[in-house]
Amino acid sequence: MRTSYHNHTLWSDGKATTGEMIEAARRAGVQELGISDHFALTADGRRFPWSLPPESLDAYVEEIVRAGRNSGDITIRLGLEIDYFPGMAGRVGELLRPYPFDFLIHSVHFVDDFAIDLNAGPWDDFPVDERDRIWRAYWENLRAAAATGLGDIIGHFDLPKKFNYHPSVDLTAEALGALDAIAGAGMAIEINCAGWDKPVREAYPAPFYVREARRRGIPLIINADAHEAGDVTRHFDRARRLAADAGYTEQVRFERRTRIPYPL
């Protein structure tokens, strides 16, 4: 079976319609396609051009559900990629509760007001101490995101490495603490294949953390993080090898927030 759950459309920062993503998935042999557009809700009401606004939730859900009814031989799973902001999990949960989501990805893209993956410029300019502070705060936020219980999958585990900036000190303990929080929350982790196409040239997470996730019994899902139709299964064979090397023999899919294992 082939699934692909982390995919973005024109509803957020993707470059393809829902229909175009479905057709690309069909051509790639995908049996289950998840749509997981960005959803960022902040305490101060900031809006982001790459995020689905709350007032569009009804239309978004209606389109994905309708696409699923008309998709023929491919199953469509309704999801979102939720941004973690401190103190907002309760409000986000209230907004999403009425909808029939199959899965929710919970991701950290911000430390304070800094968008860690938007562009390399700020990372280039930061002194080493500030880069280290951002990495520490990222791991704290990731632990906090897991503790909310809001999501089913933690997105792109070690995202701050995207532009190939790594901490100057050993923060392995902090990262493993985040994995412990994910395991404790009963969440899955993704091998996010987008990292192979970024300056770091490595999937999220790094192989060491995939092995540590397996050691903790954290379920796994392989995702493309596609923003274009042609990317819905990018690097999936490579990701399967990474998962198998770490000791995984199965991955998971979702239906109405219920995790279902199937062979890798």
For 3-263, CATH gives 3.20.20.140
- pLDDT value, residue 95: 98
At residue 65 the predicted structure's pLDDT band, cuts being 50, 70 and 90, is very high
- pLDDT value, residue 27: 97
Q: How large is the average pLDDT for residues 55-84?
A: 98
At residue 140 the predicted structure's pLDDT band, cuts being 50, 70 and 90, is very high
- pLDDT value, residue 247: 99
Assign residue 107 a region (left: φ > 0; alpha: ψ between -120 and 50; beta: otherwise): beta
Give the separation between CA 131 and CA 121, rounded to whole angstroms.
13
At residue 133 the predicted structure's pLDDT band, cuts being 50, 70 and 90, is very high
Instruction: List pLDDT tens digits, range 111-128.
Output: 999 999 999 999 999 999
- pLDDT value, residue 3: 99
φ, ψ dihedrals at 256, nearest 5°: 50, 50
Sign of CA dihedral 195, 253, 59, 85: negative
Give the separation between CA 14 and CA 115, rounded to whole angstroms.
18
Instruction: List pLDDT tens digits, range 179-193.
Output: 999 999 999 999 999
At residue 63 the predicted structure's pLDDT band, cuts being 50, 70 and 90, is very high
Report pTM: 0.97
- pLDDT value, residue 262: 98
């396609």: which residue's tokens? 33
At residue 107 the predicted structure's pLDDT band, cuts being 50, 70 and 90, is very high
> What residue spans define the domains of the chain?
3-263
Q: How large is the average pLDDT for residues 12-25?
A: 98
Please state, rounded to an integer, the average pLDDT across all residues of the chain.
98
Give 262's strand partners: 251
Percent of the chain whose pLDDT exceeds 70? 100
CA distances from 128 to 131, 138, 173 (A): 5, 15, 19
Print the SS3 string covering the chain. Answer: CCEECCECCCCCCCCCCHHHHHHHHHHCCCCEEEEEEEECCCCCCCCCCCCCCHHHHHHHHHHHHHHHHCCCCCEEEEEEEEECCCCCHHHHHHHHCCCCCCEEEEECCEECCEECCCCCHHHHHCCHHHHHHHHHHHHHHHHHHHHCCCCCEECCCCHHHHHCCCCCCCCHHHHHHHHHHHHHHCCEEEEEHHHHHCCCCCCECCHHHHHHHHHCCCCEEEECCECCHHHCCCCHHHHHHHHHHCCCCEEEEEECCEEEEEEC
- pLDDT value, residue 99: 99
At residue 142 the predicted structure's pLDDT band, cuts being 50, 70 and 90, is very high
- pLDDT value, residue 243: 99
Instruction: List pLDDT tens digits, range 201-228.
Output: 999 999 999 999 999 999 999 999 999 9
Token pair of 24 as six digits = 């690309």
